[in-house]
Amino acid sequence: MGNSSTNIKSKATLKEYSSSSTNIIMYPDFSQGLHMWQPNCNGCHAFVVSSESDYPEAFEFMLSCRFAVVKNNITNRVSAGSTYYVCAWVGILSAYHRVAAHVEGTFVLSTVPHRVKFYLEGPSPEIDLLIRSVLVSSLKDDNPWFDDGLNNWSGRGCKIVLHESMEDGKVLPIFGKSFVATENRTKNYYGIQQEITGRVQPKLAHKVVAIVRIPSGNSNICSANVKATLWDYTAGIGEQYIRIASAQATIHDWVQLEGTIILINSCPKMVIIYLEGPDPGTDILLDNLVVKLAPKSLQSPPNLSDDTDGWFPKGNCTLTVVGNGSPRVLPSMVRDYLGPHEPLSGRYILVTNRTQTRMGPSQMITHKLKPYLTYQVSAWVRIGNGAIRSQNINVVLDVDVQPINGGQVDINDSKWHEISGSFRIENQPTKAMVYVQGPDIGVDFMVSELQIFAFAKSDPGSLAGTFVKIKQTQNSFPFGTCVYRSNLTHKEFLDFFSKNFNWAVFENELKWYWTEPEQGSFSYKDAEDLMNLYTTHNIQLRGNCIFSEVQSWVRSLSNDDMKSAIQNRLTSLLTQCKGKFKYYDVSNEMLHGSFYQDRLGKDIRAKIFKTANKIDPSATLFVNDFNIEKCCEKYIEQILDLQERGDPVGGIGIQGHMDSPIGHIVSSTLNKLGTLGLPIWFTEIDVSLNNEYVRADDLEVMLREAFAHPTVDGIMLWGFWELFMSRDNAHLVNAEGDVNEAAQGHVNKQDEFEFRGFHGSYEVEIVTLSKKKLGKTFVGDQG
């Protein structure tokens, strides 16, 4: 293997790769001096030194300064949603210290901002910062199935050619539309290669999967050993070859080559993966090659390679495995977490002869679940024959006879749709089963790639006995909670509210059944008492809500009388409270209830919005609903329909009563809703769990994702004080007024306390075991 890459060992070739196409930083090793770099400090001096200098461990070129910022705008070189790997060779130099090290990590941009800068900083002013080289590279896959032709691929010592077929149509691609073949291989180490610098993270296991074969050609060779090899070059260490895997390829069929790699050296300057092996004259065919992080967990249920082994019908339906036809790629939400993946099998389960809605494929998973782990659910599903209306497909976990919703989707076409969800259990089950159900009796449906896997979270570290307190003294981001008439004389509640929130929403006091419990009997006293208290203290108010639950006297009205009652409700409320509420949730939970529409026709919703806007044009009108992560597309369709009818929909409300939230599911939902161009508010966030530490983790997920997303303009909690919550085990403050663990954070593995705070002013206090106190103030401005 030592002589298998003489054409890339020279310094000229290494320089050619130093500004590799995978590196988004221009001139990362200062080979062109300070071109595209600039110092960003008052009075500091930046200069480039060579290997002849007295600086330690210099490698050709090196930048020396206090801290530096990339001068060129890299906005166009990054994209939203991609994970980027960062690695820098750095050092410090002072009269007492000469240290060189690697700095590495990853980041994701939820959206692309107007300007993106990369910089290194940190040492004290008297210490020089040395920068040898910088790598920032996307971890995404690079054309693994040749969908983009030969882009990012090249021949290693030979020519490579893209084919749609060979040998008069006898050789066809397995996945995609094309495959690649070498031509004129004259060395056994010649073959097909791709540079993957930055896509493999040091000291993490990566799985490599390739589909290969050899052509029949003119030789008498019927099989040959094809090898996958990794070559990397690390400055100061040199080059190394890592054997990944091999497979005996034949002229008769495609075979899979599979192995695992781990890069031991941090910050390699260049990494190439290539296929080699057969004797000269025997070419290599490659259908696809995928490099991805090794699976984070065992997936369950199993695939369908052994027909329905492991699966059984729930009820007397029929399960049949179909060999191909389902999507070959992972659903988007699981793809965001697991990263690049080899193509899926295309197999799926067809469910027929259903005589009950609960009938479908099922499997026992009792011993695969553990308490307090967050599990993500993902699957492809599709409706088959027999449907005459929109159908709901639902993944259910039956845990000790307690059903848990693992995700659902409404389908009104013949396309494949993604189901995504999450769940958590609090006790080790004695019996746990997963099954798919939902469509009407007689309606066939299909399920492919149902996966359940533990969603990994980093474990907190420990600074034993150290107490960190961060207090926000002024908040500029809309952050509020629901309040109640019964809290008006609760001094401790009001004190806590005034120190932590700047918005309020009434839990019930504005709702129709509260202000008009009997027809014609109006009472706004409770709402007015709350309005007077909070507006006096400059607290802004959200109106929850104009229409929600339907009281019995409304249900008993004739259609004409009901229309009059609706008009009276709008006039009474919006006149009485005109100018008091900046936002109103108009007709609550329209995805999950349609009483007025069923009785009065679909146009009644449009009429309500238009009338409300006419009476109080100063208020912004919101839609508001729950379980949006499970029915986002349906929510978007509803909003677009309202807009097409001329409704003044000014914002989108997401209630946020989520169990076992997963960050990228929340973020993906916000991304989809963000395409509508309307402001989004989380209107009723709470998380319910008896374990306060896990409850804290769940709440952190919700608040981080909400605050980080550019379309979210405000966040409302649905309570915080025990005994004043709509859900048990969701409070942050105990009945006695003590903040519980659900409202506190923890240090990480690096003994750092990290938190994401709203814009505003803060005080931080650290108390060590020796009772020493350290204090600091800072301001978090909007960037």
What is d(CA 220, CA 549) in angstroms, rounded to the nearest whole number? 79
Catalytic-residue membership of 684: yes
What is d(CA 291, CA 262) in angstroms, rounded to the nearest whole number? 12
Backbone angles phi, psi at 84, to 5 degrees: -115, 135
- To the nearest 10 degrees (0 to 180), the angle between helices 632-644 and 663-674 is 20
Residue given tokens 């085990």 in the structure block: 729
What residue spans of 142-229 are helical by DSSP H? Answer: none
Token pair listed for 99: 């240290």
What is d(CA 100, CA 548) in angstroms, rounded to the nearest whole number? 63
Which residues are 23's β-sheet partners? 137
Q: Taking Cα atoms as reference points, which of 13, 135, 136, 120 lies closest to residue 63? A: 120
What is d(CA 381, CA 320) in angstroms, rounded to the nearest whole number? 15
495 and 541 Cβ atoms separated by less than 8 Å: no
Tell how strand 503-506 and strand 540-547 pair up: parallel
* Count of residues making up the chain: 783
Q: Which amino acid is at 436?
A: V
497 and 530 Cβ atoms separated by less than 8 Å: no
Token pair listed for 318: 């029929």
* Residues whose CB is less than 8 angstroms from the CB of residue 648 and which lie 6 or more positions away in sequence, other chains included: 609, 610, 613, 621
Q: Which of 684, 700, 705, 722 is catalytic?
A: 684
**Can you say whether the dihedral through the CA atoms of 413, 414, 415, 421 is positive or negative?**
positive
- Whether omega for the bond prior to residue 301 falls within 30 degrees of 0, making it cis, is yes
For residues 5-43, b (16+ Cβ closer than 10 Å) or e, as one string? Answer: beebeeeeebeebbebebbbbebbbbeeebeebebbeee
Token pair listed for 739: 């903040």
Hey, which residues are catalytic here? 684
